[in-house]
Structure 1
Amino acid sequence: MKEKNIHLLLAVLATGIMSFAGVLIETAMNVTFPTLIEQFNISTGMVQWVTTIYLLVISIMVPFSNYLLKNYSIRKLFIIANLFFIAGLVTDLWSPSYAVLLAGRLLQGVSTGIALPLMFHIILNFTPMHKRGTMMGVGTLTTSIAPAIGPTYGGIMTANLSWHAIFLFLLPVLIISLAIGLYAIPEIPVQKSGSLDGISLIGVALLFSGLLMFLNQLGSWFCLISLAVGLVGLVIFYRQATRRDNPLVRITVLKNKVFVLFLCGFLVCQFLLLGISFVLPNFIQIVLGKDAFIAGLVMMPGAAVGAILAPISGRVLDTLGSKKPILFGLSLATIGWILLTVLLRMPVLLGFVAGHVIYMIGIGFSYSNLMTTGMSLLPEKDYGDGNTLFNTLQQFSGAVATAIVATIINLSQQSNADFIAGTVTGSQLSLLFLLALLVIVFIACIIHFKKEPTVN
């Protein structure tokens, strides 16, 4: 496979643009939620499904993509993913109802669920080891910076045009991605390996759907039914993964405890990225009474800083190893997050900007390097399964984070006679919950690096 002439940087760029657009649109819609609530007459709990259904579909598609990558050429998969995305954009550009809007998000989720693992597959299989940190930094730029840029982009479009414009202006971006990919990615024959484990895929769908419905239905006895569905899905997936010779995903990679540590650290960072992209724009609009443009603008400086740091942090990893950038990044992320949490009780827009910038500097140094370090611990034969776990759980954790913070805020709003006060309390409780996860991961990484100070 590697002897074929692939234009590596352009191939990563083409898949990266598509992945970037996919992740960007996750949070670009968050600033539109107050508008959508009013336009479609829906609740906070319902509106978050605009993001949740999208992330749910990605979570199901990514493990399916592990099978696709083993049986179909990267060129074919790239073209299919691109066309699905374009179809989803056109659907949502037109969408006259909430149901049609969700249908378009579903199509976009199918595309991003193929594009993300495809991008990392190209990086892991075609990049020399000594350049892998830098290229992984470029790749994870799409998943670390896009969530931060999304609210800014969505806010500008919504305030000046319409939320439909969010989809309109991404159409030429996808066409450019398609043109670059058609040039850079050759038709590379694939030696088909294994059949599709459809039962495992059903298990994944039940697991993720059930757990997300459980989180959205907290406070109602219906949540117990959803939890039961999720647990059934977990049992089905686990049985298949441990009994089949060619399972959908080999979970034996999870026996590597250090790999699991960096995977968890990466997922917590994703929790934070999606959590703050939901909480802060909505807080600024609902509590402070600002419009979507201002809400998005507050996120812009941090997004710009993160965009600059993503590839640089990968180069730092290649030069200095993983310990310094990861611990430095997690420490700054913690400081920034504490500042954001405190400011919810005494809100100052410039304070939110400063806290978000500090936090994004920390994310810039830690996020992609956690994934790179974790993947480097696996033998080459396990790259596909490790890549699938990172990307599947990344998207699912984003959906979970969005569902959790939306549920906390929604319950707080319903239990408080003052809607604004309930929003403030719910927002702060959401950030405190996520702060606890960040601190746990930070301490675990400190302990690990003290035991193994020479790990690269």
Structure 2
Amino acid sequence: MENYERKIDTKLIMSIIATGIMAFTGVVIETAMNVTFPTLMREFQINTSTVQWLTTGYLLILSVIIPASSYFKKNFTLKSLFITAEIFFTAGTILDAFAPSFFILLSGRILQGFGAGIALPLMFNIVLDQVPLNHLGTMMGAATLIIAISPAVGPSFGGFIINYWGWRMIFIALLPLLAAAFFVGVFSIRSTANPVRTPFDWPGFLLLSISFSCLIFAAGASGNTGWNDPFILGAFFICIMTFIIFYKYAGKSAHPIFYPSVFHIRTFTLSVIVIGIVQFLCLGLGFLIPNYSQLVSGEKALVAGLLLLPGCIIGAFITPLSGRIMDRIGARKPIIIGNICMIAATFLYSILAQHLTTMLFVLIYTIFTIGQGFSSGTSMTNGLRQLPAKLRADGNAVCTTFQQLSGAIGTAVVSALISAEQKRLPDQLPYATMLGSQNALFLLFILACAALICSVIIFRDIKKLQRS
């Protein structure tokens, strides 16, 4: 490790912006594509369970690549990682812009997943390694803001583009932004440690890939086959067994893809669960709301996209404020307030599911995003603070992986619940979509309650440790 003085300067800010732009564009495309799904279903003659793989497949690749971020950080310079991420992401964006078929479109999304899978933890590692510790909460909040504001831009951007130029322009319009990020990143990104060559943990990587793939494939396919299908049950079984094998193997390995000892600290583990639930809720609603608006309420893509804009803008700017509050008085109040807001929003959605209007969607989603802004980045920072410094890169990999994995599952599960009702009532698409959405919203309410319970336990444990 080089003797690096932590300081906030122009290069640090620009490096966070450069890496954040790829994470930003990844989420923008992801949420913008949710608005295009009805259009793509008609153009490519596919159903809801198939089209959602544009989101789920992308998030699956993120979930597979991100666990290796700790290895990448130790073995390569931050600048070389950034350039590699840019090449993958830009290639996928160009491929999608001119995709002649759904398969090619999905292939481009997978390439984007490789790029974003490298860039997303890179941004947080820069913050963790280079920001002064007394400003860590604020800067983690600012980094999270880059991602948090993306869902506000995505659906509105997608709806506007589709309304006037068609879905392909979504990808073309982001290419100049990616080019600007490349030049800013090459100029500003610096490393705080020299690369150290260590062997790559191929067995651990393959075990995690199999486990995560089985989990996401099972969740995504359940909309067509049902949860009790032997294939679905078998995939869940393989997921659990391969993860258990990975956990035991990694505990004995000299150079695991990440150290499972991070899970020995309960406050960190519960923080990861909270982070995952918040992302599940966020992407589940990001998929559900635009599709409900178009298929049930009969709104145009532009209107459906704009539904999320006011709430996301307000919630996004809550994120750095939450980090600043954490730096001053601790993490407890913003996290608990955030969880309560998300419970209130999902409860209102679930009981009003059959009577949701455009205005109700906007108002309730604003409550949800305020909760997300208070809880998401603060929970991640608080969780990482529970780890010793030598495990924080591994902890960052775990947090970011679980966040993306939960987002993939959230999209897949919500899609599966809606698809199940659409399949049961094929001649009543609007009504079936509404019933499936109601089932999904009730599940999101239960998960929001679980996040609050985990948060209460976290701060009870922290209080006990402070007394001892």
How high is the TM-score relative to the length of structure 1? 0.96
Residues 222-371 of structure 1: pairs in structure 2 closer than 5 A? 222-371=231-380
2:440 aligned with 1:439, yes or no?
Answer: no
Distance apart, 1:44 and its partner CA = 0.7
Contact 1:336 1:358 in 2 (8 A): yes
1:91-145: CA deviation from partner (whole Å, max 9, x where unpaired): 0001010010011001100000000110011000011110000110011123333
Q: How far off is 1:185 after superposition? A: 1.3
What does residue 69 of structure 2 align with?
65
**Equivalents in 2 of 1:393, 1:188: separation in Å?**
26
Counterpart CA distance in 1 for 2:399 and 2:217 is 22
Give the alignment partner of residue 163 of structure 2, picking from 133, 156, 159: 159
How far apart are the structure 2 equivalents of 1:322 and 1:189?
Answer: 30
> Secondary structure in 1 aligned to 2:307?
helix
Question: Comparing 306-315 with 38-47, which one deviates more in the overlay?
Answer: 306-315
Q: Relative to 1, partners in 2 of residues 1:36 and 1:180: Cα closer, same or farther, differing over 3 Å?
A: same
Question: Does the Cα contact within 8 Å between 1:323 and 1:455 map onto a contact in 2?
Answer: no
CA–CA separation in structure 1 for the residues paired with 2:230 and 2:42? 28
* 1:118 matched residue in structure 2: 122
Measured after TM superposition, the shift of residue 311 of structure 1 is 1.2
Of residues 177, 180, 185 in structure 2, which corresponds to 1:176? 180
Q: Distance in 2 between matches of 1:72 and 1:449?
A: 37
Shifted more, 408-417 versus 252-261: the winner is 408-417
1:345 partner SS: helix
| Distance of 1:2 and 1:167 partners within structure 2 | 42
Superposed CA offset, 1:49-81 (max 9, x none) = 000110000111101222111100000001110
Residues 377-388 of structure 1 aligned to structure 2 (within 5 Å): 377-388=386-397
C-alpha displacement at 1:342, in angstroms? Answer: 2.9
Write the distance in 2 (CA, Å) between the matches of 1:104 and 1:447.
Answer: 42
Q: Give 3-state SS (helix, strand or coil) of 2:355's partner.
A: coil
1:421 aligns with 2:431: yes
Cα RMSD (Å) of the superposition? 1.9
Q: Secondary structure at the match of 2:69?
A: helix
Unaligned ranges ≥5, structure 2 = none
Which residue is equivalent to 1:86?
Answer: 90
Q: CA deviation at 1:232?
A: 4.6
Amino acid in the other structure paired with 1:158 = I
Worse overlay, 381-390 or 152-161: 152-161
Distance 1:233 1:444, change over 3 A: closer
Counterparts of 1:148 and 1:397 in 2: how far apart (Å)? 20
Q: Judge which range, 328-337 or 69-78, deviates more.
A: 328-337
Deviation per CA, 1:298-319: give whole Å up to 9, x if none.
Answer: 1100111022212111111111
Q: Residue 250 and residue 341 in structure 1: after superposition, are their counterparts in 2 closer, same or farther (change >3 A)?
A: same
1:135 match: 139
* 1:294 CA drift (Å): 0.3
Residues 1:452 and 1:392: Cα distance change in structure 2 (over 3 Å): closer
Cα-to-partner distance string for 1:375-410 (whole Å, 9 max, x where unaligned) = 011110001110000011111111110110011110
Partners of 1:257 and 1:229 lie apart in 2 by: 26
Contact 1:28 1:154 in 2 (8 A): yes
- CA shift in 2, pair 1:454/1:323, >3 Å: farther
Which residue does 2:4 correspond to in 1?
3
Shift in Å, 1:288: 0.5
Show CA shifts across 1:255-312 (max 9, x none).
1111111111111110111000000000000001111100011110011102221211
Q: Which moved more, 1:446-455 or 1:409-418?
A: 446-455
Equivalent-residue separation in structure 2 for 1:2 and 1:339 (angstroms):
52
Between stretches 122-131 and 232-241, larger displacement belongs to 232-241
Decide which moves more: 259-268 or 52-61: 259-268
* Candidates 70, 76, 82, aligned match of 2:80: 76
TM-superposed CA distance for 1:231, in Å, is 3.7
**Alignment-derived partner of residue 113 in structure 2:** 109
Mapped contact 1:31–1:281 kept (Cα < 8 A): yes
Asked if 2 retains the 8 angstrom alpha-carbon contact of 1:89 and 1:104, the reply is: yes
CA distance in 2, matches of 1:391, 1:2: 27
Most deviating of 258-267 and 72-81? 258-267
Task: Report if the CA contact (8 A) 1:329-1:364 is conserved.
Answer: yes
CA distance in 2, matches of 1:448, 1:9: 31
**How far off is 1:88 after superposition?**
0.8
- Cα gap change, 1:155 to 1:244, in 2 (>3 Å): same
**Aligned match of 1:14:** 18
1-structure distance, mates of 2:104, 2:171: 14
Call closer, same or farther: CA 1:245–1:451 in 2, change over 3 Å. closer
Alpha-carbon shift at residue 418 of structure 1 (Å): 2.1
Structure 1: any 5+ residue segments left out of the alignment? none
Contact 2:130 2:192 in 1 (8 A): no
Percent sequence identity over matched residues? 38
In 2: Cα distance, 1:345 partner to 1:157 partner:
29
- The 2-side partners of 1:187 and 1:388 are apart by 18
CA distance in 2, matches of 1:451, 1:230: 30
Distance in 2 (CA, whole Å) between partners of 1:439 and 1:152 is 29
Distance 1:159 1:454 in 2: 56
Tell me how far apart the structure 1 counterparts of residues 372 and 244 of structure 2 sit (CA, whole Å). Answer: 34
**What CA distance in whole angstroms lies between the structure 1 residues aligned with 2:372 and 2:279?**
10
1:149-188 deviations in Å (ceiling 9; x for gaps): 3212211111221111111111111111111111111366
2:411 paired residue among 398, 402, 412 = 402
- Of the structure 1 ranges 272-281 and 446-455, higher mean CA displacement relative to structure 2 is found in 446-455
Change (3 A) 1:93 1:207: same
Q: Which moved more, 1:154-163 or 1:226-235?
A: 226-235
Shift of 1:229: 3.7
